[in-house]
């Protein structure tokens, strides 16, 4: 680990020296590249420098305790040694976490698909509750939400809703929402007061860019048709709806994306392409994860969360949170997400380094 940290420190120093060269400032592209790399390394270098200072202070306190004859000064030196040792150990833990390889998709925007599962109309209403929950969570973090596609039930729920969340670190926090969500509650239409169980599935995908996935035009079929549903008369009288059908190169099942929310066929096609690219990237990532350990695979993408008896239970970490209204109605997801992130980091730390190397 410390060899790696010394290498990072040396690289940071070299970049800082290059940025002081006037010739670099004449090349805007190189200046931006170096500035970005320096910003990425800065926090880690500062953390390592604090660790080195704590170790130096420990050595000074140890030397003072060994040389000092005065009992009071010896006691002070031992106390200072223990204080700096605790600080050193704390910083070492932070350094280990900081060196965990970062998910390259963490900073991406996300596309979220929510579909009603078992439970009929009540499942559709639960899907709508989840959509509002994520929308309010995004609002609390000043992220932007854009609707991409929706299929509304007669009671105002969702058979399916697809939306985009744009904001720094959106995927890093929302990726843990992947999976099946279950609610046990008394539906509004239940006269007998019986509790029903309904489910909804949530799929969270990092938004793909052209550099992430390549779409072969020969494998893409584009259909246009007349919009239907809740779009309004002007939408329903034009062939503005778009259906994309893509056949993957590896022979997997076709991927179908539809969008009819916009009056413009071009806008619907652009939204559908955005969802298609996200699904392709999500599929590509799932294939890559097959090479990872079972522990790592279970960290993201297999969420199992219940909403019973005025609490939330996340079965991945066996965590119960008893502020259901605050969680669902206000979108206060951080207490659960923070624990999931800590759990995921713990799984990453427990993985052996690649090629059997040791830090």
Give the pLDDT confidence score for residue 286 in this predicted structure: 77
Give the pLDDT confidence score for residue 102 in this predicted structure: 73
Residue 167 banded pLDDT, cuts 50, 70, 90:
very high
Q: Is 310 exposed, middle or buried (0-12, 13-18, 19+ CB in 10 A)?
A: exposed
**Within 10 A of 232 (CB to CB), how many other CB atoms are there?**
10
Tokens of 62: 């140890």
| pLDDT higher than 60, residue 143 | yes
Residue 88 banded pLDDT, cuts 50, 70, 90:
very high
| pLDDT higher than 80, residue 34 | yes
Residue 2 banded pLDDT, cuts 50, 70, 90:
confident
**CA gap 81, 85 in Å, rounded:** 6
Give the pLDDT confidence score for residue 343 in this predicted structure: 87
Q: What are phi and psi of 56, to 5 degrees?
A: -65, -40
**CA gap 279, 203 in Å, rounded:** 10
pLDDT tens per residue across span 207-264: 887 656 778 888 899 999 877 655 444 445 567 889 999 998 877 889 999 998 888 8
Q: Region of 11 please: left (phi>0), alpha (psi -120 to 50) or beta.
A: alpha
pLDDT tens per residue across span 265-296: 888 899 998 899 888 888 887 776 664 444 33
224 Cβ contact partners less than 8 Å away, ≥ 6 residues apart: 239, 240, 241, 242, 243, 265
Domains of the chain as residue ranges with CATH: 2-98 (no CATH), 110-207+294-350 (3.30.70.1660), 217-288 (3.30.160.20)
Tokens of 68: 């000092």
Give the pLDDT confidence score for residue 98 in this predicted structure: 80
More confident residue, 103 or 123: 123
CA 229, chain centre distance (Å)? 32
Q: What would the mean pLDDT of 1-20 be, rounded to a whole number?
A: 90
Lowest mean pLDDT among 198-207, 271-280, 300-309: 300-309
Give the pLDDT confidence score for residue 96 in this predicted structure: 81
**CA gap 325, 329 in Å, rounded:** 5
- Torsion angle in degrees (nearest 10) through CA of 35, 36, 39, 40: -150
| pLDDT higher than 80, residue 175 | yes
CA 125, chain centre distance (Å)? 25
Q: Give whole-number Cα distances, 114 to 30, 111, 322, in Å.
A: 42, 10, 24
Give the pLDDT confidence score for residue 237 in this predicted structure: 56
**Within 10 A of 206 (CB to CB), how many other CB atoms are there?**
24
Q: What are phi and psi of 186, to 5 degrees?
A: -90, 115
Q: End-to-end distance of the chain based on CA atoms, in angstroms?
A: 4
Q: What would the mean pLDDT of 109-138 be, rounded to a whole number?
A: 93
Mean pLDDT score across all residues of the chain? 84
The number of C-alpha atoms within 13 Å of 198 and in the hemisphere containing its C-beta is 23
Q: What would the mean pLDDT of 64-84 be, rounded to a whole number?
A: 91
Lowest mean pLDDT among 39-48, 195-204, 268-277, 348-357: 348-357
Q: Kindly give the residue spans of alpha helices, DSSP state H, lying in the chain.
A: 2-19, 22-25, 28-67, 71-98, 121-140, 170-174, 233-236, 265-289, 294-297, 324-328, 334-350
Contact 127/161 with Cβ under 8 angstroms?
A: yes
pLDDT tens per residue across span 324-333: 888 988 899 9
What pTM, to 2 d.p., does this model score?
A: 0.65
Q: What would the mean pLDDT of 98-119 be, rounded to a whole number?
A: 86
């Amino acid at each position: 680990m410390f060899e790696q940290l010394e290498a990072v420190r040396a690289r940071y120093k070299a970049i800082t020296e290059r940025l002081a060269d006037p010739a670099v400032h004449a090349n805007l592209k190189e200046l931006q590249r170096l500035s970005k790399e320096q910003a990425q390394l800065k926090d880690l270098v500062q953390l390592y420098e604090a660790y080195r200072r704590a170790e130096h202070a420990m050595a000074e306190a140890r030397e003072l305790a060994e040389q000092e004859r005065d009992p009071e000064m010896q006691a002070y030196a031992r106390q200072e040694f223990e204080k700096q040792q605790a600080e050193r150990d704390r910083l070492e833990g932070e350094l280990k976490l900081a060196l965990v390889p970062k998910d390259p998709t963490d900073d991406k925007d996300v596309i979220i698909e929510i579909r009603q599962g078992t439970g009929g109309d009540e499942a559709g209403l639960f899907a709508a509750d989840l959509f509002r929950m994520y929308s309010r969570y995004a609002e609390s973090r000043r992220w932007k939400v854009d609707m991409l596609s929706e299929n509304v039930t007669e009671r105002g729920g969702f058979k399916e809703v697809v939306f985009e969340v744009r904001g720094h670190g959106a995927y890093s926090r929302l990726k843990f929402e992947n999976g099946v969500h279950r609610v046990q509650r008394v539906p509004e239409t239940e006269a007998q007061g019986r509790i029903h169980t309904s489910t909804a599935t949530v799929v969270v995908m990092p938004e793909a860019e052209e550099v992430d996935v390549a779409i072969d035009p020969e494998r893409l079929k584009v259909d246009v048709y007349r919009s239907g549903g809740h779009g309004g008369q002007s939408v329903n009288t034009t062939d503005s709806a778009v259906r994309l059908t893509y056949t993957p190169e590896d022979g997997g099942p076709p991927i179908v994306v539809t969008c009819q929310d916009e009056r413009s066929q071009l806008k619907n096609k652009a939204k559908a392409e955005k969802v298609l690219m996200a699904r392709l990237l999500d599929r590509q990532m799932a294939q890559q994860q097959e090479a990872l350990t079972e522990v790592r695979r279970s960290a993201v993408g297999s969420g199992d969360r219940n909403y019973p008896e005025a609490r939330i239970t996340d079965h991945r970490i066996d965590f119960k949170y008893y502020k259901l209204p605050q969680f669902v109605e206000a979108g206060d997801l951080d207490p659960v997400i923070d624990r999931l992130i800590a759990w995921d980091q713990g799984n990453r730390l427990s993985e052996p380094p690649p090629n059997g190397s040791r830090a």
